[in-house]
Copies of this chain bind each other. A is one copy, B any other.
Amino acid sequence: MLDVCLLGTGGMMPLPYRFLTSLAVRYNGSTILIDCGEGTQIALRKKGWSPKPIDYICFTHFHADHISGLPGMLLNMGNAEKTDPVYLIGPKGLTQVVNSLRIIAPELPFPVYCMEIEGHDQEFTLGDLTIRAFRVHHNVVCYGYSLTLKRQGKFDIAAAEALGLEKRYWNRLQKGETIELDGKTYTPDMVLGPARQGLHLTYTTDTRPTQSIIDNASEADLFICEGMYGETDAKEKAKEHKHMTFQEAALLAKKANAKELWLTHYSPSLVKAEEFMPGVRSIFPNAHAGKDGKSRTLKFTEETD
C-alpha cells in the first residue's frame, strides 16, 4: 500500500493558509517526497509525519517554489537523527543546484546523493516500487513522476505441491527467493500465478497538457495534476505561463482513463478552488480540488476469487 499526502497545494509562493505544492508518499518504511518548497517541512510536521524516513526527494524542476525548502528539510532530517542516505532525483543540473543551496546546510549526518535524469524518461527502482520520471512541458526542463507498485501473482498451492518441494521452502519462494536443492532449481515463477494489478500514482505540476502525461497517467489509481487557474477563460494565460486550467487537467484525466483526479498548484490569486469543480466534474466526474493535507491510502484491490 501507498500512504499519500498532498502536503501543500499552492503555486508561486507560500501563503498563510496554503503551503507550496508537495507530495509525500510512505511506502514500506520509506518516505518519498516530490518537491520541497519553502515551508514544506512545516506542512510535513503539521501532518505529523517524521522527516527522518525521507529517503528520496524528487524534484519536478528548479523554480524556487519547488526546491527552496530543501536546505531546511535536510537540516530537519539531520535533527531527526537520520543517518542513512537520501537520494535526490531531478533534472540535469541538480547536483549544482543542491550544492549551491547547501551553502547553508553543509554538514549533515547522512550522505546526500544526486541522481540527474537522463533524457525524456527514466526509471528508478526501489524494490517493488518504481519511480518513473517523464518529461513534461514548462518554460524550463520539468518532469512529472509516476510511482508504481508491482503486485506479484497469487501463490499456487497446487503448483507448489506438484513440485514436490517441502512446505518450509514455500515462503522463501513466495518472497522471490530462488531455491537450489538436491541439484534442482526452484524459481518463484513456478509457484506464482500471473502478476496482479498493482498501484499507480501519477503526479505532475508546472506543465501544459502533454501526451506524455496521458501515457504515464494511463489507468492511474490517483492522478495528481496542476490546475493553476480555475476560470474557463484563463486558457490563454495558462498557455503563456506554461501552466494549465482545471478543465485542461480534467481532460487529461479523462484521456488517461485515470480513476481519480486531485487538482493542485493553485495560483496565489485563486481562493476558492471548490467553486470551479462542478464544471471540472462535467469533464471528469471523479475530480477533487486538492487541499493542504489531503490524504489517501492506496491499497491493492481485494481479490474476489
Contacts and interface: CB of A to CB of B under 8 A. Distances in A.
Contacts of A12: 79
Contacts of A14: 39, 41-42, 72
A38 interface: yes
A90 interface: no
A68 B71 contact: yes
Interface in A4-54: 12-16, 37-39, 41-42, 45-46
Contacts of A100: 100-101, 103
A99 to B, nearest CB: 9
A53 B97 CA distance: 29
B72 A38 contact: yes
Given A62-B104, A100-B100, A101-B101, A69 B38 contact: yes
A97 B104 contact: yes
Name which of A38, A63, A100 has the most chain B CB atoms within 10 A of its CB.
Answer: A38
A76 interface: yes
Contacts of A38: 38-39, 41-42, 68-69, 72
A interface SS class: helix
A44 to B, nearest CB: 10
Contacts of A79: 12-13
Given A38-B41, A39-B38, A39-B39, A13 B101 contact: no
Given A14-B39, A14-B42, A96 B103 contact: yes
The copy count of this chain in the complex is: 2
A104 B38 CA distance: 12
Given A38-B41, A72-B38, A64 B15 contact: no
For chain A, which range describes its interface: under 10, 10 to 19, 20 to 34, or 35 or more residues?
20 to 34
A75 interface: yes
A256 B205 CA distance: 54
Contact of A64 (B16, B63, B67, B72): B72
Contacts of A96: 103
A115 interface: no
A192 interface: no
Contact of A13 (B15, B41, B63, B97): B41
Contacts of A13: 41, 72, 75-76, 79
A47 B29 CA distance: 39
A105 interface: yes
Nearest to A97: B103
Contacts of A16: 42, 45-46
Given A39-B14, A39-B39, A105 B69 contact: no
Interface of A: 12-16, 37-39, 41-42, 45-46, 62-65, 67-69, 71-72, 75-76, 79, 96-97, 100-101, 103-105
13 contacts: A14-B39, A15-B42, A16-B42, A16-B45, A16-B46, A37-B72, A38-B68, A39-B39, A39-B42, A64-B104, A68-B71, A68-B72, A96-B103
